[in-house]
């Protein structure tokens, strides 16, 4: 899945000449945490975050009169003075996995998506990423999560998927926990059905162990001494 | 001790699902055999079911949806909108008769012919949305029952208590902006169980905000958690709402023997549900309640749990 499929494209962009007052209003109105900054041609030149805006604000500990006075001054400044120039960006051909890793590594809240010429194409925020993963996990569709413990050897998932196919059941997602236990993996198929009885029976007949997720939770929790 | 009405009709067996489908006609046969074996049938007042008039179905379901379901059955299609929703040519008429059975039970209670009533009907209803069949459900029996109580008997405030192990998404969504119907559901946690809704933060919208209450139970948990959540979540909210009528979505699939779910409610645990609910019913509507069968798929345990549930109703 590429970022172009999940990024936000109905963009509100500002220029370095935009006043802080204007930017503040745009952010509050659209409930944005990031605003991309572009030049007159639409090429990305920076990004401004709600944190940059807060840093530029006078201290909330000031008395009301001096706060207002300083605020009036601050809001006349331009975005060019506080924006992060040359921010970290991604290209449209980047995958969801890429952005997940970059966001984690660089500790940023949003990544502008720019093409080879530097034009802004969209923005991918952590919120967009979360939405993408809700979609990938299929958890907004009705279904049932099974928790299956299998031996660490090839071909296990196939047997599980075969059983689901035999029962004419679609898969919403399959998550695999790799470091479960020595020589064991835990497989979590999210089945888009209410009808799990015959699938469970077939899995048990093949010798798979159906995990009690709460038992696992209790085993993993720190023990009270 | 009041009289308890009972709805069953041989025609409920005519909704045939595919071979091996858990929501099968044998569920009702098992319940009837169980009730007969327990000697309960003779003490129940039989209420005859009739197909519901379509205008009552339309109080909840979109007319195009109703027609689409009727057509799917007429064409002899194997399922409707999802492979879970197995159908046959008689499914539409059976679903009308299930709603009709509930409406007849409501009539009997409202006309004081009986104190309360249990409806052994199928197909079940609580997953059915206004315009979508889900989870073996086509028409939302209790939701239509609530509208019927309000429109036919001018009942103002209806409380629906749903103890099927699955969240009643249909019922919740049908009433989520409605402050005249309070929906309470206790069910297996939606991260693990079908249909993936019924989290604690789902509490209704706009005018219906605060008129939905969900108690998700984590898998592996049982009697203690049910007791705790019923006492802290259901009892105070029920009393605050102060319903004029109570309907139950009675599912018996949270039992430890029922493979459909991961919760471990014991047979005694079901008595906690029965006692808590019927105490509330007894002090609010004088024991008047209509209980409607939803799930319950273990053919050995289902009849026993239904018999215990009915016994408690007869004692009201």
Annotated catalytic residue B127 = yes
Judge if A67 and A162 occupy the same domain: no
- Predicted confidence band at A220 (pLDDT cuts at 50, 70, 90)? low
- Predicted confidence band at A184 (pLDDT cuts at 50, 70, 90)? confident
In contact, B284 and B243? CB cutoff 8 Å: yes
> Do the domain assignments include residue A225?
no
pLDDT higher at B158 or A138: B158
**Cβ-based neighbours of B166, under 8 Å, separated by 6 or more:** A194, B126, B127, B135, B187, B188, B193, B194, B195, B251, B253, B261, B295
Distance from CA of A143 to the nearest CA of B (A): 5
Whether the CB of B78 is below 8 Å from some CB of chain A: the reply is no
Please state, rounded to an integer, the average pLDDT across all residues of chain A: 89
Judge if A155 and A180 occupy the same domain: yes
Host domain of residue A19: 3-135
* Alpha carbon distance, N-terminus to C-terminus of chain A: 46
- Predicted confidence band at B293 (pLDDT cuts at 50, 70, 90)? very high
Report the alpha-carbon distance of residue A122 to residue A100 in Å, rounded. Answer: 16
> Do the domain assignments include residue A37?
yes
Query: What are the tens digits of pLDDT across the range A96-126?
Result: 888 988 998 998 999 999 999 999 999 999 9
Question: How many helices (DSSP H) and strands (DSSP E) are in chain B?
Answer: 10, 8
The torsion region of residue A26 among left (phi > 0), alpha (psi -120 to 50) and beta comes to alpha
CB pairs under 8 A between A and B: 65
Region A83-91 average pLDDT: 94
pLDDT of residue A180 exceeding 70, the answer is: no
CATH of the domain at A113: 3.10.580.10
Report the alpha-carbon distance of residue B67 to residue B270 in Å, rounded. Answer: 38
Query: What are the tens digits of pLDDT across the range B15-59?
Result: 999 999 999 999 999 999 999 999 999 999 999 999 999 999 999
The neighbouring-strand residues paired with B161 are: B184, B248
Domains of chain B, start order: 4-314 (3.40.800.20)
Q: Which member of A145, A197, A198 has the closest CB to residue B192?
A: A145
A145 to chain B: which residues are within 8 Å by CB? 191-193
Region A173-190 average pLDDT: 83
Name the H helices within A111-187.
126-137, 156-166
CATH of the domain at A214: 3.30.70.260
Judge if A37 and A100 occupy the same domain: yes
Count of domains observed in chain A: 2
Region B101-130 average pLDDT: 98
A141 to chain B: which residues are within 8 Å by CB? 196
Whether the CB of A145 is below 8 Å from some CB of chain B: the reply is yes
Whether the CB of B172 is below 8 Å from some CB of chain A: the reply is no
pLDDT of residue B1 exceeding 70, the answer is: no
- Predicted confidence band at A182 (pLDDT cuts at 50, 70, 90)? confident
- Predicted confidence band at B156 (pLDDT cuts at 50, 70, 90)? very high
> Do the domain assignments include residue A175?
yes
The pLDDT of residue A185 is 84
Reduce the DSSP state of residue B196 to 3 states and report it.
Answer: coil
Report the alpha-carbon distance of residue A89 to residue A99 in Å, rounded. Answer: 10
* Among B15, B61, B126, B127, the one annotated catalytic: B127
pLDDT of residue A221 exceeding 70, the answer is: no
Reduce the DSSP state of residue A46 to 3 states and report it.
Answer: strand
**Cβ-based neighbours of A162, under 8 Å, separated by 6 or more:** none
**Torsion sign across C-alpha atoms B169, B172, B175, B178:** negative
Report the alpha-carbon distance of residue B185 to residue B209 in Å, rounded. Answer: 15
Whether the CB of B21 is below 8 Å from some CB of chain A: the reply is yes
Judge if A53 and A116 occupy the same domain: yes
- Smallest CA–CA distance from B165 into chain A, residue: A194
pLDDT of residue A181 exceeding 80, the answer is: no
pLDDT of residue B234 exceeding 90, the answer is: yes
Judge if A66 and A17 occupy the same domain: yes
Judge if A175 and A197 occupy the same domain: yes
What six digits make up the tokens of B102? 């509930």
pLDDT of residue B248 exceeding 80, the answer is: yes
In contact, A27 and A14? CB cutoff 8 Å: no
Judge if A73 and A168 occupy the same domain: no
């Amino acid at each position: 899945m590429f970022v172009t499929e999940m990024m936000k494209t109905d963009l509100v962009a500002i220029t370095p000449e935009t006043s802080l007052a204007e930017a503040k209003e745009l952010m509050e109105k659209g409930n944005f945490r990031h605003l991309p900054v572009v030049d007159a041609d639409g090429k990305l030149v920076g990004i401004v975050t709600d944190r940059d805006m807060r840093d530029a604000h006078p201290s909330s500990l000031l008395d009301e009169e001096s706060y207002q006075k300083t605020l009036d001054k601050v809001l006349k400044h331009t975005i060019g003075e506080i924006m992060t120039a040359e921010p970290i960006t991604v290209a449209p051909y980047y995958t969801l996995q890429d952005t997940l890793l970059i966001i984690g590594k660089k500790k940023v809240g949003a990544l502008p998506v720019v093409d080879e010429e530097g034009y802004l194409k969209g923005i991918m925020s952590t919120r967009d990423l979360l939405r993408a993963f809700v979609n990938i996990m299929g958890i907004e569709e009705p279904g049932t999560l099974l928790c299956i413990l299998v031996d660490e050897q090839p071909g296990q998932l196939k047997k599980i998927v075969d059983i689901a196919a035999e029962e004419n059941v679609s898969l919403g997602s399959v998550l695999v926990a790799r470091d479960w236990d020595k020589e064991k993996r835990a497989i979590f198929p999210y089945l888009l059905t209410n009808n799990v009885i015959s699938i469970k029976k077939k899995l048990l007949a093949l010798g798979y162990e159906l995990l009690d997720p709460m038992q696992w939770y209790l085993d993993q929790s720190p023990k009270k001494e | 001790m009041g009289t308890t009405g009972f709805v069953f009709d041989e025609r409920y067996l005519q909704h045939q699902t595919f071979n091996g489908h858990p929501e099968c006609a044998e569920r009702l046969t098992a319940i009837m055999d169980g009730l007969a074996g327990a000697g309960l049938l003779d003490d129940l007042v039989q209420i005859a079911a009739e197909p519901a008039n379509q205008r009552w179905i339309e109080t909840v379901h979109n007319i195009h949806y109703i027609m689409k379901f009727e057509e799917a059955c007429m064409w002899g299609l194997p399922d409707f909108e999802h492979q879970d929703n197995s159908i046959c040519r008689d499914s539409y008429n059976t679903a009308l008769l299930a709603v009709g059975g509930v409406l007849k039970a409501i009539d009997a209670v409202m006309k004081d012919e009986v104190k309360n009533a249990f409806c052994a009907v199928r197909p079940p209803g609580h997953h059915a949305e206004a315009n979508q069949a889900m989870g073996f459900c086509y028409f939302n029996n209790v939701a239509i029952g609530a509208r019927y109580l309000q429109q036919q008997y001018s009942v103002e405030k209806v409380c629906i208590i749903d103890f099927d192990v699955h969240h009643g998404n249909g019922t919740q969504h049908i009433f989520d902006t409605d402050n005249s119907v309070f929906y309470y559901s206790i069910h297996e946690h939606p991260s693990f169980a079908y249909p993936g809704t019924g989290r604690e933060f789902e509490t209704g919208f706009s005018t219906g905000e605060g008129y939905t209450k969900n108690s998700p139970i984590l898998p592996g948990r049982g009697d203690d958690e049910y007791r705790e959540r019923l006492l802290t979540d259901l009892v105070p909210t029920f009393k605050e709402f102060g319903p004029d009528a109570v309907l139950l979505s009675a599912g018996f699939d949270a039992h430890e023997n029922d493979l459909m779910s991961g919760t471990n409610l014991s047979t005694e645990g079901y008595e906690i549900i029965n006692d808590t609910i019927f105490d509330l019913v007894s002090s609010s509507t004088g024991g008047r309640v209509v209980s409607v069968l939803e799930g319950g798929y273990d053919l050995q345990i289902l009849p026993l749990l239904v018999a215990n549930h009915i016994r408690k109703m007869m004692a009201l």
